[in-house]
Chains A and B, each alone.
Chain A
């Protein structure tokens, strides 16, 4: 099972919106609405941001939103803030022998 494909880096200025893509296949992202997104600051454990493609856990800012089209899921961060500078990973349930696969990760830089 290959990792889902994410851009290595995305950057934006404070207040702007950015979108991170997560491309899989018809056996994972395209087949199941079980895509989740995680934020990881340096030296910290990942934190759940989005689950089931579009849902936000309690306490997560509504500046974070998720969507999906075909085999590609996306995470949009609106009103970019300095604290959003971190690594972001997508994850999907899969129909392969391994039930879960992570994305390659995206480093977000706030200019």
Chain B
């Protein structure tokens, strides 16, 4: 079964740091371009960032609001994606999804996890 399972979300104080994980199974993770997408409570979807497959360079791109505060990385032998978030702000409170892009269907987010909740509050 194709699956993405996020973990690591929790309550954290403003200014704190957090690392989210996304475990992949059922497909060839090494070929996948991986993304993080977040959704604040009651709000819409917001793209956070991506990392290309290592065969395509393994480079990263980040959304402007989070640039400089986040780092996306991948561990291909462990089929795991990471999102390191620093200097967290209350506005970063959201459900964070990992998703593949273009794995089965070109130019679309085609496999999604169920999300992990990050709450930034004092």
Contacts and interface: CB of A to CB of B under 8 A. Distances in A.
Interface of A: 1, 3, 34, 36, 38, 40, 45-48, 51-52, 55, 57, 89, 91, 93, 97-105
Contacts of B63: 1, 98
Contacts of A34: 107
A61 to B, nearest CB: 16
Contacts of A89: 44-45
Contact of B109 (A48, A52, A98, A101): A48
B105 A45 contact: no
Return the 3 tightest CB-CB contacts between A and B, nearest first. Answer: A51-B108, A36-B108, A34-B107
A40 B45 CA distance: 10
Contacts, number: 68
Contacts of A105: 44-45
Given A45-B114, A98-B61, A38 B107 contact: no
Contacts of B61: 97-99
Interface class of chain B by DSSP: strand
20 contacts: A1-B64, A34-B107, A45-B112, A46-B109, A48-B105, A48-B108, A48-B110, A51-B105, A52-B107, A55-B105, A57-B105, A91-B45, A91-B47, A91-B108, A97-B64, A100-B47, A100-B101, A101-B47, A102-B37, A102-B46
Contacts of B82: none
Interface in B78-122: 97, 101, 104-110, 112-115
B74 interface: no
Nearest to B101: A100
Contacts of A51: 105-108, 110
A89 B82 CA distance: 25
A97 B63 CA distance: 8
Nearest to B4: A45
A98 B48 CA distance: 9
